[in-house]
């Protein structure tokens, strides 16, 4: 789809040159700000000059939608439409050009729904890891079951007891917060609760979970990849050379494509992320160039006393002792009030296979559980091909590991594979502009 210049004045758009009124008017027209679009434009286009960008836009679209009339010293502003979104290109004094995107309001609702769904997942994982999703607790009523809400309350109380001394905890626990005056509430909250909240927040960010940064503040358009792609494509179109007599120009200035390669926003992002991963990943003790495969551990039954002991859990499934213990833990009674498991589980020697089998028979009534002996052999999977990064291999195992027997990543050196070596060297050293 091509760019469409909205050759109309602000009266036609029911807009004003005043930024706040302009924002409200666009919202009334069914659009809302796509936060993060300005950063994407900066990544794709780099720093633009007012003169060169205006030269390009004027030759391609004619007079700007508006110009020098507000307190932000805007020299020009063009309003363009692309894929249902409105784009405002503004040149300001001194030398600063920015691009804002306004998307249809339906995307705002979609963004919020995806955001809440992701927060629910993190909330549940946090509780399982004894971590409080705090101060984002305002999601609690919407995302937790009654069981999880009770567990959240118990965990919050546990953290408070650990943080405060006994006298302070007793004092705060006895405060009738709703009846406090504003001054007293502010005093107690500032002295005790704010430091406690900061402590919980620090612990939350220290929690080893990669989804946190993705959800809470890395990319504003993280939950709207379709808008992210539209913004990237829009910026690419501004890089398209526009002919002026015997030469051409784009929004960066007079076009010179010598020695450059044009990429789509999707391909650009992929290569940049791949470069970062290749330059920062571990090589697991292998010399470059390194590639990855899926190694499987297959088990063959052998007579008792030979090979390695392993637990047969029934229905053809086998597990190592530590895996079986974690699996069984889900089926052992847990008392929320005392925060303790069944007494027999607490007393169980979880390093003993025979004791674990006896527990399964007597407490869980799992009569099929028994110790068997196997010979373990490792074999590289022939169905997956090679992976350029360890992360890609790990993601494959995470999604499709059920098709393999105890899969794990395996690094290999492509010794004297000059073609692969040159390709990886290009990717790891290319300069993105």
pLDDT tens for 128-182 read 788 877 544 445 456 666 777 777 788 888 889 999 999 999 999 888 888 889 8
For residue range 243-261, list pLDDT tens digits in order: 887 778 888 887 554 455 6
Q: Residue 239: pLDDT band by 50, 70, 90 thresholds?
A: confident
Output the pTM of the full model: 0.49
Chain length of the chain: 433
pLDDT of residue 8: 41
Average pLDDT of the segment spanning 63-91? 79
Average pLDDT of the segment spanning 108-124? 79
pLDDT of residue 215: 63
Average pLDDT of the segment spanning 23-47? 80
Average pLDDT of the segment spanning 347-375? 89
Average pLDDT, the chain: 80
pLDDT of residue 274: 92
């Amino acid at each position: 789809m091509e760019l469409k210049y909205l050759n109309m004045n602000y009266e036609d758009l029911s807009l004003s040159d005043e930024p706040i009124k302009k924002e409200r008017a666009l919202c009334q027209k069914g659009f809302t700000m796509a936060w993060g679009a300005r950063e994407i434009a900066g990544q794709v286009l780099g720093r633009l000059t007012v003169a060169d960008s205006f030269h390009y836009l004027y030759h391609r679209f004619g007079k700007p939608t508006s110009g020098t009339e507000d307190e932000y010293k805007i020299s020009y502003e063009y309003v363009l439409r692309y894929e249902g979104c409105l784009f405002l290109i503004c040149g300001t004094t001194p030398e600063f050009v920015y691009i804002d995107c306004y998307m249809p309001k339906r995307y705002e609702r979609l963004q919020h729904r995806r955001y809440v769904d992701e927060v629910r997942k993190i909330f549940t994982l946090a509780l399982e890891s004894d971590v409080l999703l705090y101060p984002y607790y305002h999601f609690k009523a919407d995302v937790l079951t009654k069981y999880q809400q009770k567990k959240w309350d118990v965990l919050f109380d546990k953290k408070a007891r650990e943080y405060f001394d006994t006298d302070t905890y007793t004092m705060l626990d006895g405060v009738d917060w709703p009846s406090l005056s504003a001054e007293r509430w502010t005093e107690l909250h500032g002295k005790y609760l704010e430091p406690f909240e900061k402590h919980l927040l620090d612990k939350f960010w220290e929690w080893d979970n990669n989804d946190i940064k993705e959800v809470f503040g890395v990319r504003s358009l993280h939950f709207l990849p379709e808008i992210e792609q539209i913004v990237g494509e829009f910026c690419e179109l501004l890089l398209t050379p526009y002919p002026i007599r015997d030469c051409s120009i784009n929004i960066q200035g007079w076009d010179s494509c010598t020695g450059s390669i044009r990429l789509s926003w999707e391909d650009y992002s992929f290569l940049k992320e791949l470069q970062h991963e290749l330059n920062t990943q571990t090589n697991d003790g292998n010399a470059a160039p390194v590639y990855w495969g899926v190694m499987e551990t297959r088990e063959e039954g052998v007579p008792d006393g030979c090979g390695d002991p392993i637990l047969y859990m029934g229905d053809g499934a086998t597990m190592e002792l530590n895996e079986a213990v974690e699996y069984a833990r889900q089926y052992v009674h847990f008392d929320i009030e005392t925060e303790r498991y069944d007494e027999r589980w607490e007393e169980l020697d979880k390093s003993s296979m025979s004791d674990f089998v006896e527990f399964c028979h007597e407490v869980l009534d799992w009569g099929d559980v028994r110790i068997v002996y196997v010979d373990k052999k490792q074999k590289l999977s022939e169905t997956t091909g090679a992976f350029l990064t360890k992360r890609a291999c790990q993601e494959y195992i995470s999604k499709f590991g059920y098709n393999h027997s105890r899969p794990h990543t395996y690094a290999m050196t492509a010794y004297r594979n000059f073609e692969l070596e040159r390709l990886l060297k290009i990717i790891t050293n290319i300069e993105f502009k």
